[in-house]
Structures are given as structure tokens and as C-alpha cells.
Structure 1
Amino acid sequence: MQVHLSMLDAVDPRKPSVIPLVLTVTASQHPAVQDDFGDFVHTIRPGTGAASA
């Protein structure tokens, strides 16, 4: 499963970014993890530019 997120630069909206997120599992594993992957995708947010620990 692949998801491509498109985000605009907060300072210069002419500079978009595309972030590919990929889930690689077997066909039999897919039903068990697809909801978790969707939950993960929904947590992706632009950073503040500060380093995280």
C-alpha cells in the first residue's frame, strides 16, 4: 500500500513536497495492519524545523 502526502512550504508555498509512505506486507498480513497504517498516516504533520530528541 502506498500513500503520497503533498505539503506546501509554510514560507514559500511555491515549494511543495511529496512524502511517500509505503506499507510492505504479505497479502495475508494486510487485513491485520491496514487500519494501523491508516492511523499512522493520519499522524503525519509538518515539522517546526527544530531538531527533535
Structure 2
Amino acid sequence: MTAVTQWKKSSYSGGGEGNACVEIADLRTHIAVRDSKAPARIPLTFPAAR
């Protein structure tokens, strides 16, 4: 991922203190998913349905 990737908190992350936060990024051809507590780890990617 590059520094310009825009990550957003998923609406499925739950509320409260944000302890179960999943973030997503739309990379045009793929959707990336990561754990906000470990942002340096390699995210999971899935083909985007376009």
C-alpha cells in the first residue's frame, strides 16, 4: 500500500471504544481490509466487483 491510500472505518466494526475496528480501502481494482490495531501488516485484498 502506498501513503496515499485512504482507509475508512467499516460500518461493521461496531461502536463503543473502537476495539474491534476494521478498516477498508477502495483501490479501484481491489478492496483492501486491515485491522486498525496493526496497520503496518499486509492487508487482505479482494477483487472489486465493478
Query: Normalised by the size of structure 1, how large is the TM-score?
Result: 0.29
Give the number of the structure whose residues are more often strand, by fraction: 2
